[in-house]
Amino acid sequence: MPPIELILAAPRGYCAGVDRAVETVERALELQGAPVYVRKQIVHNLHVVRDLEARGAVFVDEVAEVPEGATVVFSAHGVAPTVHGESSERRLDVIDATCPLVTKVHSEAKRYAQRGYRMLLIGHAAHEEVVGTMGEAPDAITLVETEADVPLLPDYDPAQPLAYLTQTTLSVDETRGIIEALKARYPWIVAPAKDDICYATSNRQAAVKELAKATDLVLVIGSANSSNSCRLVEVAREAGVQSHLIEDETEIDPAWLEGVERVGITSGASAPERLVRRVIGWFEERHGPLPVSELETVHEDVSFNLPRPIRRALAVVDADDQ
């Protein structure tokens, strides 16, 4: 086999919102013991979900499956207000691990709705984040998935205020095209004060673009339902390089390596770093020790506070220990 070099994208893997959501479930398990109910996958990664399940987390699709009065954690993707309503009807103890950057989009939607705006949400149907955001103002929000959807939208009255919002984990380049089409069709449309596509999504896409220039193959570690991971594969392919999404090292097809000398590796915002180490191990098993370097495009140091109920419980434990 030809010599292979591995180049890792930086930044890659866990973002601040995922880190916070996963730690929220871990802390809830430590503080309260099992079971801790979690509505939907806490983050879109099979390994993370299985690991937390093994430690006592119980993943459910809807709060109706959670026993009355029990604790439930909401995932990083956010929930519609109706889910909060159902939870209080069932007297559930809610720990909301919605990423603060998703909450920001919910707040924008609420503000625009209160001011009588119609909104166009750029995103993917059925993604949990989109379902949650649309739930803030279901009658005022229309989903736009692709540029081809724009000509099919109604002729809104210019007298009615119009704004667009975006899902946080989209392709920056693809979204730009949709926004341009919306602005051309509705010149009065208002943009969010600050980009909705989050820092982690933008940074990982910028990093994979540079990685694609330096490699012959880009492997993206992430689950198929992880929006930001799927976008990384698309960005790498658009940059002209062969790219594949893999859940872990068991999904690497040796045929992909034919004629490949430099392999780029990155991981979606919900994929733990241990999976990157396992992929490196897969190559080392076949090729022996090989050069591994990192291509850093930007340094990230974002972190978010844990949800308030967890911080309060930890403060009580600390006080008891003193």
Cα distances (Å, whole numbers) of residue 124 to 30, 88, 232, 238: 35, 29, 16, 20
Beta-carbon contacts of 159 under 8 Å, excluding residues fewer than 6 positions away, are none
**Cα–Cα distance, 108 to 99 (Å, whole number):** 15
* Footprint of ligand SF4 (CB under 6 A): 15-18, 76, 99, 101-102, 168-169, 198, 200-201, 228, 269
Q: How many residues does the chain have?
A: 322
CB of 284 to ligand SF4, least distance (A): 30
Cβ proximity to ligand SF4, 66 vs 198, nearer residue? 198
Measure Cα distances from 168 to 21, 129, 226 in Å: 16, 8, 12
Q: Which of 83, 27, 19, 80 is nearest to 57 (CA)?
A: 27
Compute the half-sphere exposure of residue 96: CA atoms within 13 Å on the CB side of its CA. Answer: 15
* Bridge partner list, 7: 264, 293
What would the DSSP string read from start to end of 196-242? SS-HHHHHHHHHHHHHHHH-SEEEEE--TT-HHHHHHHHHHHHTTSE
Beta carbon of residue 300, minimum distance to ligand SF4 (angstroms, whole number): 10
Among 129, 147, 210, 258, the active-site one is 129
Rounded-to-integer distance, Cα 232 and Cα 243, Å: 9
Cβ atoms 189, 212 nearer than 8 A: no
Whole-angstrom distance, CA of residue 10 vs CA of residue 223: 19
User: Least distance in Å: CB of 4 to ligand SF4?
Assistant: 30
**Comparison of 42 and 295: residue with beta carbon closer to ligand SF4:** 42
Minimum Å gap between C-beta 41 and ligand SF4 is 12
As given in the structure block, the two tokens for residue 144 are: 């736009």
Question: What's the CA dihedral at 298, 299, 305, 306 to 10 degrees?
Answer: 80
Smaller CB separation from ligand SF4, 18 or 179: 18
Closest approach of ligand SF4 to the CB of residue 89, in Å = 28
**Catalytic site includes residue 234:** no
Residue whose CB is nearest to ligand SF4 in the complex, by number: 17
Nearer to ligand SF4, 102 or 236 (CB): 102
Closest approach, Cβ 160 to ligand SF4, in A, equals 29
CB nearer to ligand SF4: give 32 or 225: 225
129 versus 248: smaller Cβ distance to ligand SF4: 129
* Token pair belonging to 69: 């009065």
What values do phi and psi take at 93, rounded to 5?
A: -90, 105
Residues carrying an active site annotation = 129
